[in-house]
Structure 1
Amino acid sequence: MLVLSRQRDETIMIGDEIEISIVDIRGDKVRLGINAPTRIAVHRKEVYDAIKRENAQAARLGANDIDSLAQTIKPGPARRVEREQGQSGTASMLGATRVSPGVGISSERDHDKDTA
């Protein structure tokens, strides 16, 4: 383990992309600022350990668990989802998703058009 001494507002670099800054020191607490690419997960150790435990538990699903899920999730044909196009060619921010006719799902925006 590499041990470094730093003061407030000083920085440590890990590789070319990860920067750790000492933001504040109060008593026995040190506040760190971490600047890293979004593809690199940064967690407190206790959160990381909890994530590992949850992932390990999820990987141990038994046949009974799978059968239970199969009863909940019914297979069926996929629905086609179309997007409304705005003036700029991008999907409208409100009520942008419209399911093909006859499927029985509509947004509030579609309902408002029908009743206006």
Structure 2
Amino acid sequence: MLVLTRKKGQSILIQDQIELTVLGIYNDHIKIGISAPPDVQIVRSELIVSIKENNLEASQLPENTDFLKEALRQIGRED
């Protein structure tokens, strides 16, 4: 990992296409502006982790599927 120190208003340029600018510094938070081409996807890392965890949870079948069988049976009766 490359570690750089920047002050408010200073930037970092990545491959002549992506510019990160320090917009503000507030106690233990910083505000960063990102300029990038429209085809570059920018997503917060904690959001990706949350999506992966939710997808994994949703893909797991419950150990006891009897309640699902009963619900499907009840729906079949109402037709």
Q: Which interval holds the TM-score relative to the shorter structure?
A: 0.5 to 0.7
In the other structure, the counterpart of 1:24 is 24
Matches for 1:1-116 after TM superposition, within 5 Å: 1-54=1-54, 60=59
Taking a change above 3 Å as real, the CA distance of residues 27 and 35 of structure 1, as seen in their structure-2 partners, is same
Greater than 4 Å deviation, 4+ residue runs: 54-58
Cα deviation code 1:68-100 (max 9, x no counterpart)? xxxxxxxxxxxxxxxxxxxxxxxxxxxxxxxxx
Alpha-carbon offset, residue 34 of structure 1? 0.6
Distance 1:44 1:55 in 2: 17
- TM-score, normalization by structure 1: 0.45
The alpha carbon displacement at 1:61 in A equals: 8.6
Q: Residues 46-84 of structure 1, C-alpha deviation per residue, up to 9 Å, x if partnerless?
A: 1121233455567x599xxxxxxxxxxxxxxxxxxxxxx
The alignment of Structure 1 onto Structure 2 pairs a total of residues equal to 61
| RMSD of aligned residue pairs (Cα, Å) | 2.0
Which SS does the other structure have where 1:13 is aligned? strand
Letter in 2 for 1:19: E
Q: Which runs of 5+ in 2 are unaligned?
A: 62-79
Higher helix residue share: 2
Match of 1:98 in 2: none
Question: Secondary structure at 1:2's aligned position in 2?
Answer: coil
TM-score, normalising length: structure 2: 0.63
Larger relative contact order (Cα-Cα within 8 Å, sequence gap ≥ 6): 2
